[in-house]
Amino acid sequence: MGLLEQCEELFKTSNLYEVLGVCKGASDSEIRRGYYKVSLLVHPDRAPGDELATTKFQVLGKAYAVLADKDQRAVYDEQGIVDEESDTLDQDRNWEEHWRRLFPKITLQDILDFEKQYKGSDEEVEDLKRLYLQHEGDMDLIMESALCCTYEDEPRVKDILQKAIDAEEVPAYKAFTHESVKKKNNRKRKAERESKEADEMQKEMGLNSEDSLVAMIKQRQKSKENGFNSLISDLEAKYCKKPAAGKKGKKK
């Protein structure tokens, strides 16, 4: 099975840009950032309950490799095909090792600093509008995917999106404008349950208040919530340095 077929099977799209969550005109840094965002959601260590996580991770790495290579990306853009025989897509390539070269670990302080500068920024507004369009106004999915957001941020998120609707920057999806009270209450109960579980984990791990974010990270990973994983992925992609020249596989 070829790469595009694998993408369709595992990610429900054969479009490599959609797999990475970026637009066709994305810059190299945006593609790299998109790759990391998605990779954290399917990384075997962060998705232990997903039997296909390893396969997804490998296929995702190949999709990134194609779009990160100038020549291969040009062929894909023009013809919609990929060179399956390229060294870049070598079946024996260690994608975990390649991933770690691209994205070394970050610190807790990096997370806190990023959250502080991200909230209320133009970047956050644009990200929220993108999620709103992607999920057609479904607040459950928007809040799960939004960076640096907890249930307490929901009124702020809704206000941002409503202003975008009023300004005709995005359409008024019925799922957003006419969301049922039951759906809102279910989301609230879920958030309260997760908050309680995070507090319990914090106590079990013997963490103090300054370390509470660590407990939340672990709880988010445990419950497979996309939102906080996206925060980590976006942050690591933002702070990690690019690999030195010469790390790419040789072209035939």
* Domain 3-102 in CATH 3.40.50.720: no
Rounded to the nearest 10°, the torsion over CA 192, 193, 197, 200 is 70
Question: Is the entire prediction scored with pTM above 0.75?
Answer: no
Token pair for 68: 């990160």
CA atoms within 13 A on the CB side of 191: 18
The string of DSSP letters for 59-76 reads HHHHHHHHHHSHHHHHHH
Q: In the chain, what are the domain boundaries?
A: 3-102, 109-205, 210-236
| Residue 220 contacts residue 233 (beta carbons within 8 Å) | no
Side chain identity, residue 129: K
What pLDDT tens digit does each residue of the chain (252 aa) get?
899 999 999 988 999 999 998 999 999 999 998 888 888 777 777 666 677 888 898 999 999 999 999 999 999 999 999 988 887 777 677 887 877 777 766 565 666 677 788 889 998 999 899 989 989 999 999 988 787 788 889 999 999 999 999 999 999 999 999 999 999 999 999 888 877 776 676 566 555 544 445 444 444 444 434 444 455 555 555 544 444 444 444 343
